């Protein structure tokens, strides 16, 4: 919704908004763009003389402002519908869908098009370091969008991506998630099938061959040319060697090699998907390989927030067990034998429901120590993490958590904080506590 606000402002509209808990980096960029933010959903905001209320999917019936809008019969529309009608209409939309890696892959694809001089518009669910904003409107025919499967709005329970009608589509992966709105994986597969139905026959689908779920989706019907990645007969990334360089091949023939600022096998797959999608938009793979070498990354994707007393603190958005495991694996490839201390806040709706708790121990196995912030959860985190009990510590008080970490860390440690929210500002709190510490263990 913050990105949509930026696009609406760029399109010439006067924009303001409200939320219950606004935090950086989104709050910062909205304020920098002159977009007024109101804390909370007071019904009195309906008195503002606005032409249209754009409603995000976090808003449910019972919300005071929404109830006032409905009671007064004021004009409203969902965020995805407004985006489709006012921004995406007539554009060559390049969409990136999947359970994991959407933000990174969208940023990678956008950067490749930018480096090729195509000046794309974009909407990303994070802040790409190469652009400094999560959304941009340009006069280019190309628009890159993170295509999310979460529902559209209180009044439209279809997945958001149904509105976007991409011409080029990356299907990164597909696992069970969003347990608050989907009963099982099959229900999500049906939404992806509906997305596939919206693509034209002169478009292109790039799908991850390693995902049986995506193969099931495409077996149900596909009317668009299809290319696979993570496949010998398709696009493939080689193993990283030396300084992180890896080769990219198509149908068994090596195209060239590149390097990437983001570590891990999953990010190499993201990069290959972006190269393939960019080729559909007219960018030769050889150009894309060079562009990737200059890619700076995305905020909150293994982002270094600071170093104090030779302890490095990272921020990452990982909250699904698969993403947690991949993030730890990627960091391990970067830091080698240095200790990785994983900090986890189970904050997503799926995590709060406990739907993924059985998978958490295995996802955290690659960390040397695990600290979990378990405030306001309806399930026993200590019991769920019993298989890795010897290296796990659970807290429901932020102050006690910070104190425990500060007492444990030693020089050279890599502290990885993972949450899909602000995590109570733990990064700055921890860096401040480390800076004030009398002594750090060697």
Q: Judge whether 94 and 143 are in contact, CB under 8 Å.
A: yes
Residue 108: predicted pLDDT: 97
Q: How is 412-428 classified by DSSP, letter by letter?
A: T-EEEEE-SS-GGGHHH
Whether the per-residue pLDDT at 181 is higher than 90: the answer is no
Tokens 């149904």 appear where?
Answer: 162
Report, as an integer, the average pLDDT of 200-213: 96
Residue 375: predicted pLDDT: 83
Whether the per-residue pLDDT at 86 is higher than 90: the answer is yes
Q: For 16, phi and psi rounded to 5 degrees?
A: -140, 170
Q: Is 79 left (phi over 0), alpha (psi -120 to 50) or beta?
A: alpha
Residue 442: predicted pLDDT: 60
Whether the per-residue pLDDT at 439 is higher than 80: the answer is no
Domains of the chain: 2-78 (3.40.50.720), 90-292 (3.40.1190.10), 303-436 (3.90.190.20)
For 300-353, the pLDDT digits (tens) are: 878 889 999 899 999 988 878 888 988 898 899 889 999 999 999 988 877 777
> In the numeric block, which tokens belong to residue 271?
């990069």
Residue 441: predicted pLDDT: 61
CA atoms of 34 and 31, how far apart (whole Å): 5
- Residue 175's contacts (CB-CB under 8 Å, 6 or more residues apart) are 99, 100, 185, 213, 320, 322
Q: For 189, phi and psi rounded to 5 degrees?
A: -60, -35
Closest CA to 381 of 347, 425, 339, 432: 347
Report, as an integer, the average pLDDT of 250-273: 92
Whether the per-residue pLDDT at 93 is higher than 60: the answer is yes
Closest CA to 79 of 146, 27, 29, 142: 146
Is pLDDT larger for residue 214 or for residue 323?
214
Give the Å distances, CA to CA, from 261 to 237, 248, 286, 356.
Answer: 15, 16, 18, 30
For 109-136, the pLDDT digits (tens) are: 999 999 999 999 999 988 898 998 899 9
Average pLDDT, the chain: 92
User: Residue 119: is the preceding peptide bond cis (ω within 30°)?
Assistant: no
Please tell me the least confidently modeled range out of 175-184, 208-217, 236-245, 291-300.
Answer: 175-184
Residue 245: predicted pLDDT: 92
Tokens 């390049």 appear where?
Answer: 94
For 41-64, the pLDDT digits (tens) are: 999 999 999 999 999 999 999 999
Most confident stretch, 14-28, 205-219, 378-392, 423-437: 205-219
Q: For 404, phi and psi rounded to 5 degrees?
A: -65, -40
For 58-84, the pLDDT digits (tens) are: 999 999 999 999 999 999 999 999 999
For the chain, percent of residues with pLDDT exceeding 90: 72
Q: Judge whether 256 and 247 are in contact, CB under 8 Å.
A: yes
């Amino acid at each position: 919704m913050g990105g949509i606000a930026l696009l609406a402002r760029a399109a010439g509209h006067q924009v303001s908004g409200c939320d219950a808990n606004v935090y950086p980096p989104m709050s910062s960029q909205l304020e920098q763009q002159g977009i007024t933010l109101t804390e909370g959903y007071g019904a009195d905001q309906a008195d503002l003389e606005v032409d249209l209320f754009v409603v995000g999917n976090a808003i449910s019936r019972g919300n005071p402002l929404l109830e006032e809008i409905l009671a007064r019969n004021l004009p409203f529309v969902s965020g995805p519908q407004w985006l489709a009608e006012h921004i995406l209409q007539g554009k060559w939309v390049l969409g990136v869908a999947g359970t994991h890696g959407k933000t990174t892959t969208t940023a990678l694809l956008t950067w490749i098009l930018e480096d090729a001089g195509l000046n794309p518009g974009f909407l990303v669910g994070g802040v790409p370091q190469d652009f400094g904003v999560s959304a941009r409107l340009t006069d280019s025919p190309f628009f890159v969008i993170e295509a999310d499967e979460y529902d559209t709005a209180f009044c439209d329970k279809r997945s958001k991506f149904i509105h976007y009608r991409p011409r080029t589509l990356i299907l990164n992966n597909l696992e069970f998630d969003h347990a608050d709105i989907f009963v099982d994986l099959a229900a999500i597969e049906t939404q992806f099938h509906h997305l596939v139905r919206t693509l034209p026959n002169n478009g292109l689908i790039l799908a991850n061959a390693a995902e049986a779920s995506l193969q099931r989706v495409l077996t149900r019907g596909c009317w668009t040319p299809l290319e696979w990645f993570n496949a010998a007969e398709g696009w493939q990334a080689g193993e990283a060697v030396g300084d992180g360089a890896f080769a990219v091949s198509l149908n068994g023939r090596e195209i060239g090699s590149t390097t990437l600022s983001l570590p891990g096998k999953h990010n190499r797959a993201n990069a290959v998907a972006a190269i393939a999608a960019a080729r559909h938009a007219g960018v030769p793979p050889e150009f894309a390989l060079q562009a990737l070498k200059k890619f700076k990354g995305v905020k909150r994707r293994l982002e270094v927030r600071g170093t104090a007393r030779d302890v490095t603190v990272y921020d990452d958005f990982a909250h699904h067990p698969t993403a947690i495991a991949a993030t730890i694996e990627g960091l391990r490839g970067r830091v080698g034998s240095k200790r990785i201390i994983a900090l986890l806040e189970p904050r997503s709706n799926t995590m709060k429901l406990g739907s993924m708790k059985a998978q958490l121990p295995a996802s955290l196995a690659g960390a040397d120590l695990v600290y979990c912030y378990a405030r306001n959860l309806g399930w026993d985190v200590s019991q769920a993490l019993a298989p890795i009990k010897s290296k796990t510590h659970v807290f429901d008080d932020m102050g006690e958590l910070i104190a425990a970490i500060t007492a444990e860390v030693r020089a050279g440690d890599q502290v990885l904080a993972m949450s899909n929210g602000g995590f109570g500002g733990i990064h700055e709190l921890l860096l401040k506590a480390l800076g004030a510490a009398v002594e750090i263990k060697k």
